[in-house]
Amino acid sequence: MTDAGPSSRERYRAQVRAEIKQHAWEQIAEAGVPALSLNAIAKKLGMSGPALYRYFANRDDLVTALIRDAYRSIADTVRAAHDGGADLAALARVVRDWARQDPQRYFLIYGTPVPGYHAPDDTTAISHEVMAVLIEACGAQPAEAAATPFDTHLEDHREWAGDHPAPAAVLHRALAFWTRLHGVLSLELAGHFAGMRFDPGLLIDEEVAAVRG
Amino acid sequence: MTDAGPSSRERYRAQVRAEIKQHAWEQIAEAGVPALSLNAIAKKLGMSGPALYRYFANRDDLVTALIRDAYRSIADTVRAAHDGGADLAALARVVRDWARQDPQRYFLIYGTPVPGYHAPDDTTAISHEVMAVLIEACGAQPAEAAATPFDTHLEDHREWAGDHPAPAAVLHRALAFWTRLHGVLSLELAGHFAGMRFDPGLLIDEEVAAVRG
DNA sequence: TGTACATCAGTGAACGCGCGTTCACTGATGTAC
DNA sequence: TGTACATCAGTGAACGCGCGTTCACTGATGTAC
């Protein structure tokens, strides 16, 4: 006999949990997080409302799981692209594609925070994974220019980079890459370029290409 | 007799409307837009719920008024700073101060969009006012570098700049300024730099200084 | 200046709604001997 | 292989809640003669 693996009950549980999340994402895509309703999900699943409490302790618990999955997904996406040899330009495109595939998922992580709500600790750990990849990617290309005041400032504030040996200039590049990408992308997804007809992808290309210009 | 001016009833109306908005902002600051409740506002004002319908047609009407006011406020702030001689660096600081003064007001405008909701037309007009100021500010300093692909792209997509005679390179700078500022600022306000201890203001300084580097 | 009338701010009761969540239960599924 | 028991997914009724919104009304305030 090989070792057990998940029992059929466990597999069933995992499956139903996944279906619940699936419908939750659909609701969020349609009307945003505030409109997410346990009862509505249950109805779509063809079960009664209270049944969901077998799978999630409460509404907040479900939302937290979704947030965790979203972080996990983007971290894996970025990591995979990096391992596949993607440079900064390619990484930016990968992130943009990931975000446009489900804008509300992007906003769930990087959008308007709910005052008072604090994400669980492990999600910040996952977001550090993303930064770690970016730092690696930014370290690939040599730093040329002289140290800026912010570089110097970063020398004294680099605990967040963990044990990464990258010089401050590299951390600076990683931050610039990330904030520039987010700047264009979040405005694009929010529709703030709606009237303007230019291609935000081109702007992103040049913004990230000019990182540490 | 001098001309009439607002009647006392009109002045009263304006005053109560202002008080309602005031309490609305407080609620939003505390728990975000979704938590905004007409009944709760009425209670704080010491009046009954239905009374508010004398001043706003419904909840959406109130939210729309808040959005409009927020746009108006930032447009006036930016315009005033520009007229006062502020350069790009100063403009960035002014916007950041405005945003930090009430982060949820910033997010009401530039944060997570509610799928399906469309802001009234005049708000996009006001947001164009902001862009107009930025274009003026970006035109002040001479363009040096050669035209980039995005510059060329913008030549054909510049209707949004209205009748502004600025060259595409200037529009490019204005967009870069705006997206870089928003990129750092929105992540800062959302708490994504919470663990890291660096000063986002310094990062913004260098990001906007490097616009068109 | 005084009276008659119209305007309109605010009240209180009531509406239906959907929400999250609890509880005691039924019945199917898996486990142990 | 068959029976006895424990586990646990799902149900249905019920809870209290606060929401937005309507309606018919009272009473104060401003206007016209």
Contact B110 A205 (CB under 8 A): no
Q: What is the mean pLDDT of residues B13-25?
A: 98
Q: Residue A213 is which amino acid?
A: G
Q: Which nucleotides of C are covered by protein (CB under 7 A)?
A: 8-14, 18-24, 29-31
Rg over alpha carbons for chain A, rounded to the nearest Å, is 20
Q: What sign for the dihedral angle of Cα B207, A177, B185, B125?
A: positive
The pLDDT, as a whole number, for residue A143 is: 66
What one-character DSSP code corresponds to residue A40?
H
| pLDDT band at B143; cut points 50, 70, 90 | low
- Which candidate from A113, A192, A199 shows the least CB-CB separation from B191? A113
**Which member of A31, A153, A157 has the closest CB to residue B115?**
A31
Question: Per-residue pLDDT tens for A111-150?
Answer: 999 998 888 889 999 999 999 999 999 987 776 778 999 9
Euclidean distance between CA atoms B19 and B41, whole angstroms? 10
A149 phi and psi angles, rounded to 5 deg? -55, -40
* Length A28 CA → D16 C1' (Å): 27
Global pTM reads 0.96
Q: Find the angle CA(B167)-CA(B140)-CA(B70) to the nearest 5 degrees.
A: 90
> Could you write out the DSSP letters of every residue in B138-176?
HHHSPP-SPPPHHHHHHHTS-GGGTT----HHHHHHHHH
C-beta separation of A184 from B183 below 8 A: yes
CA of B38 to C1' of D18 (A): 11
Residue that is written with structure tokens 């346990």 in the block = A38
Interface of A with B in 39-68 (CB under 8 A): none
* B179 to chain A: closest CA residue: A183
Span(s) in chain B for CATH 1.10.10: 1-56
Which DSSP symbol is given to B36? -
User: Residue B212: what pLDDT?
Assistant: 75
CA distances from B95 to B33, B73, B152, B175 (A): 21, 11, 29, 15
Chain A interface test: which of B118, B188, B196 (most A C-beta within 10 Å): B196
How confident is residue B1, by pLDDT bands cut at 50, 70 and 90? very low
Up-side HSE of residue A25: CA atoms within 13 Å toward CB?
A: 16
Residues from chain B contacting residue A203 (CB–CB below 8 Å): 150, 175-176, 179
A2 band by pLDDT with thresholds 50, 70 and 90:
very low
Inter-chain residue contact A107 with B112, CB threshold 8 Å: yes
Please judge whether B31 and A116 are an interchain contact, meaning their C-beta atoms are less than 8 angstroms apart: yes
In this structure, how many other beta carbons lie within 10 angstroms of the beta carbon of residue B38?
18
Contact list in A for residue B124 (CB cut-off 8 A) is 194-195
Q: Say what percent of chain B tops pLDDT 70.
A: 97
pLDDT above 80: residue A76 = yes
pLDDT interval class at B148 (50, 70, 90):
very high
Residue A183 CA to residue A89 CA, distance in Å, equals: 15
CA distance B168 to A198: 12
Residues B32-36 have a mean pLDDT of 97
Answer yes or no: do A114 and B31 touch at CB < 8 A.
yes
Give the C-alpha separation, A33 to A24, whole Å. 9
The pLDDT of B51-56, averaged and rounded, is: 98
- Reference B159, options B142, B147, B171, B144; nearest CA is B171
Which pLDDT score is estimated for A1?
40
Structure tokens of B128? 């164009």
Residue percentage of chain A with pLDDT more than 90: 84
- Amino acid identity, residue A153? H
Distance from CA of B8 to the nearest CA of A (A): 39
Q: Evaluate whether the domain defined by B1-56 bears CATH number 1.10.10.
A: yes
Query: What's the N-to-C CA distance of chain B in angstroms?
Result: 61
pLDDT in tens, A147-199: 999 999 999 999 889 888 899 999 999 999 999 999 999 999 999 999 899 99
Domain B68-212: assigned CATH number: 1.10.357.10
What is the gyration radius of the CA atoms in chain B, in angstroms? 20
Nearest beta carbon to residue A180 from set B113, B180, B186:
B180
Question: Residues 11-50, chain B: which have Cβ under 7 A from strand D?
Answer: 36-40, 49-50
Contact B101/A at CB under 8 A? no
Give dist(CA A19, CA A23) in Å, integer.
Answer: 6
Residue type, A105: R
pLDDT digits (tens, 9 = 90+) for B68-95: 999 999 999 999 999 999 999 999 999 9
Q: Does A181 touch chain B (CB under 8 A)?
A: yes
Q: From the alpha carbon of A7, which nucleotide's C1' atom is closest?
A: C30
Q: Does residue B27 belong to the interface with chain A, where contact is any CB pair within 8 Å?
A: no
Q: Is the pLDDT of residue B145 over 80?
A: no
Asked if A159 and B197 touch (Cβ cutoff 8 Å), the reply is yes
A140 in helix, strand or coil? helix
- Chain B contact present for A159, CB below 8 A: yes
Task: Delimit the CATH 1.10.357.10 region(s) of chain A.
Answer: 68-212
Residue B92: φ, ψ to 5° = -60, -40
